[in-house]
Chain A
């Protein structure tokens, strides 16, 4: 099996699985319980929080655990909107993940004003547009750090500076689901107020994630209950998930830039192999530090991404599409629309997402199989 859908989810590492099994078998107590069994788990959760805070170079008190990326984005965006009753203007991008964009759309329905920043044909947002859009009424700027479909990295440090230079009371939220554990960045230097991330994108379990909330930030809760996670995320902690998540983070490479270089070499190699074999290719991801090395979005004219996916699955190669096919044609992905990709290409787009454990042989084999699929499909579409 060659698993190349690591943006959708990743394979949990064995040590992660083991830590969760141990936790279920022995340490299954409720951290809110007064007795020793509860206290033991409480200590483990505290330790997990420290592991993740250390990884992000932030303080333990700035991390809360959630059920995942979607919940983290909701808690941050809705929470800051509830807190800022006076200002009503939000700035975001056209290439957000639905977890953020649909939350913001919901606020728009409630009367908030939303500015969507323009971007270039590789998905980089226009910073002068950002400068021009900031105004007295602005309370939130929400940006996806690494886009999940094309991998483009936004310069959050520069964005943070622009926002805070204009008004330090504007909340800067970053959706970091695809950047956490994958690329280097600094939350403090980027002046980020909230940062959403998830466990199952970094070889941990599903159903758990985290939200960094900088210590000067106050959010109104959107969930109510037992007051866990400082009252921001009530509900019994997903203790097994949190323990597995922390284990996954402990096992992440300490040398991100070395790991990045390795994965980028694989990505570049695959692109070369494909270019050598197939004409009519369009690469929608940068092949340098402007993109996450883990994400390659690539289009083959006169094909269908979905059909390529099914061809590849027969050889146990798993990739994904970014646009879904429907009986009435193709529903174009909002991200591919935003970068202005022509229909001829966008229909035939697949997303390949790498991980640390792939080899060059895997890439050669994948290139061969993609070539075969593309040729077969074109024999039908080009007549």
Chain B
């Protein structure tokens, strides 16, 4: 009777011939978060992945595995041979653990028999296991319609008995959908954007723009802290920090005040694109959200898009702020994002930013600037922080 963890895979099972590739990526990602927790063995059996070992660290492992994309459910199970007596004993033990002194519990046994050569059919297995559990534990009742507890029995080469199905995030394993460069600010939105793209299998690194000494080391540290939280889902992250102050000064001196924000955004995209091209990233990712602020109108997005050739992915574009906040709380970046750090970037915020910029006007304003030179100089300020 072994205690193990099983994980079920979502969309991966639909991947046909590529499935093996996706599964191998997934297993690699799983190994990354549990390798320090002790001896274990990981194997696949019929659409699920099983982890044996880990002993007392099993709960910690489950918590960490919840953050691995591509997993749908995680269950602590008991693994036994397919001998019916063993299955019955395991079922009683699992059930006792599940009800844990609660009274008047109803349950139902659900059997999935993948091994069709097994002599008993699923309903018969359920019936026999259910009967045995009823006779061994007092005060239980069967309810096949709305039970308090589902007692699952998976019969494969071995039998797996479990009651808990902890929901994970689903999605696709990180690394199966290319690399994206996230523009990470200290706010609520961008970490969520990174998380959502990573959930679709995109490997994430970040670029952060600051205006030191107009912004502080503490504000920078907050961004690194957000990257640290996101990295719990995505694995190691690189953060490229770029000082934008000189560009902001140049814009301030040479361009119309109300275009400050959009001009800065276009520079950020250009700089990000350079980093992306050098590092083999296929897309830029932002936390932009349609209509949230003046610089996030559909007109602005159009003008911003025109500054680069790489696609800009905006996973939050159609979400409401409350939903973004809910995600931020779910992935635990919210509390860090709302920390009020002195951020004197507000000096650079125009009082009335343009909301319907036209590419032709913006390009005209940029003629006053040596774009190539400014981008190159900004890249020279780059610091790289590796978050493991």
A379 touches B216 (CB 8 A): no
Q: Is A216 an interface residue (CB 8 A)?
A: no
With A380-B249, A380-B252: A310-B214 Cβ-Cβ less than 8 Å: yes
Q: Is A256 an interface residue (CB 8 A)?
A: no
CB distance from B289 to the nearest CB of A (A): 17
Residues of B within 8 A of A110 (CB): none
A327 touches B343 (CB 8 A): yes
With CB as the reference atom, state the residue of chain B lying closest to A383. Answer: B252
Q: Tell me which residues from 329 to 383 in chain A have a Cβ below 8 Å from any Cβ of chain B.
A: 329, 373, 379-381, 383
With A381-B347, A383-B252: A307-B340 Cβ-Cβ less than 8 Å: no
- Write out, one digit per residue, whether chain B residues 333-377 have a CB within 8 A of any chain A CB (1) or not (0): 000000010111111100000000000000000000000000000
Chain B contacts to A: CB under 8 angstroms: 212-217, 248-249, 252-253, 257, 340, 342-348
List 8 other contacts, CB 8 Å, given A324-B342, A380-B348. A307-B347, A310-B213, A310-B216, A326-B342, A326-B343, A327-B343, A380-B347, A383-B253
Residues of A within 8 A of B346 (CB): 325, 327-329
CA distance A314 to B216 in the complex (A): 11
CB distance from B209 to the nearest CB of A (A): 15
Residues of A within 8 A of B249 (CB): 379-380
Residues of A within 8 A of B348 (CB): 380
29 sample A-B contacts, Cβ–Cβ < 8 Å, listed by A number: A304-B214, A304-B344, A304-B347, A306-B216, A306-B342, A306-B344, A307-B213, A307-B214, A307-B344, A307-B347, A310-B212, A310-B213, A310-B215, A310-B216, A313-B213, A324-B342, A325-B342, A325-B343, A325-B344, A325-B346, A326-B343, A327-B340, A327-B345, A328-B346, A379-B249, A379-B253, A380-B248, A380-B347, A383-B252
CA distance A311 to B215 in the complex (A): 10
Residues of B within 8 A of A304 (CB): 214, 344, 347
Residues of B within 8 A of A383 (CB): 252-253, 257
CA distance A310 to B219 in the complex (A): 12
With CB as the reference atom, state the residue of chain A lying closest to B340. Answer: A326
Chain A contacts to B: CB under 8 angstroms: 304, 306-307, 310-311, 313-314, 324-329, 373, 379-381, 383
For the complex of A and B, the 8 pairs showing the least CB-CB separation, nearest first, are A310-B213, A325-B342, A311-B213, A325-B344, A327-B343, A304-B344, A306-B342, A307-B214
With CB as the reference atom, state the residue of chain A lying closest to B216. Answer: A310
Residues of A within 8 A of B342 (CB): 306, 324-326
CB distance from B295 to the nearest CB of A (A): 15
CB distance from B197 to the nearest CB of A (A): 25
With CB as the reference atom, state the residue of chain B lying closest to A321. Answer: B342
CB distance from A336 to the nearest CB of B (A): 16
CA distance A383 to B249 in the complex (A): 11
Residues of B within 8 A of A325 (CB): 342-344, 346
CA distance A168 to B283 in the complex (A): 76
CA distance A3 to B179 in the complex (A): 46
CA distance A307 to B343 in the complex (A): 9
CA distance A324 to B343 in the complex (A): 9
With CB as the reference atom, state the residue of chain B lying closest to A328. Answer: B346
CB distance from B29 to the nearest CB of A (A): 36
Residues of A within 8 A of B213 (CB): 307, 310-311, 313-314, 373
With CB as the reference atom, state the residue of chain A lying closest to B345. Answer: A327
Residues of B within 8 A of A381 (CB): 347
CB distance from B165 to the nearest CB of A (A): 42
With CB as the reference atom, state the residue of chain B lying closest to A381. Answer: B347
CB distance from B30 to the nearest CB of A (A): 39
Most chain A CB atoms below 10 A, which of B249, B342, B343, B346: B342
CA distance A381 to B345 in the complex (A): 11
CB distance from B260 to the nearest CB of A (A): 10
Residues of B within 8 A of A326 (CB): 340, 342-343
CA distance A381 to B344 in the complex (A): 11
With CB as the reference atom, state the residue of chain B lying closest to A373. Answer: B213
Residues of B within 8 A of A327 (CB): 340, 343, 345-346
Residues of A within 8 A of B215 (CB): 310
CA distance A380 to B212 in the complex (A): 14
CA distance A379 to B253 in the complex (A): 9
CA distance A328 to B345 in the complex (A): 10
Residues of B within 8 A of A380 (CB): 248-249, 252, 347-348
CA distance A326 to B345 in the complex (A): 9
CB distance from A347 to the nearest CB of B (A): 9
Residues of A within 8 A of B217 (CB): 310
